[in-house]
């Protein structure tokens, strides 16, 4: 599950990513990150504190975001 903390004018949006990022959930995570920008966030932080696995699709998705 991905959670998001909405941005305020002075703060970035934090998107907390799951423990594993792979082809199964990569699309949903990509939409969450893009959605943060679509809602006007200027800075989005991908919090990968709990992430223990990220495949190449996940890395690609993060680079695109």
56: domain CATH number is 3.30.750.24
- Residue-number span of the structural domain to which 54 is assigned: 3-64
Give the pLDDT band (50/70/90) at residue 21. Answer: very high
d(CA 40, CA 47): 19
Please determine, for residue 57, whether its predicted confidence score (pLDDT) is greater than 60: yes
For the chain, the domain total comes to 1
Cβ atoms of 26 and 53 within 8 Å: the answer is no
Give the pLDDT band (50/70/90) at residue 1. Answer: low
d(CA 26, CA 6): 21
Quote the tokens at residue 65: 């975001």
Task: Give the sheet arrangement for strand 13-16, strand by strand.
Answer: 3-5, 13-16, 44-47
């Amino acid at each position: 599950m991905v959670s998001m903390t909405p941005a305020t004018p002075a703060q970035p949006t934090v998107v907390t990513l799951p423990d594993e990022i792979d082809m199964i959930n990569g699309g949903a995570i990509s939409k969450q990150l893009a959605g943060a920008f679509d809602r006007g966030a200027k800075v989005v932080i991908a919090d990968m504190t709990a992430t223990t696995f990220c495949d190449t699709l996940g890395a690609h998705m993060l680079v695109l975001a």
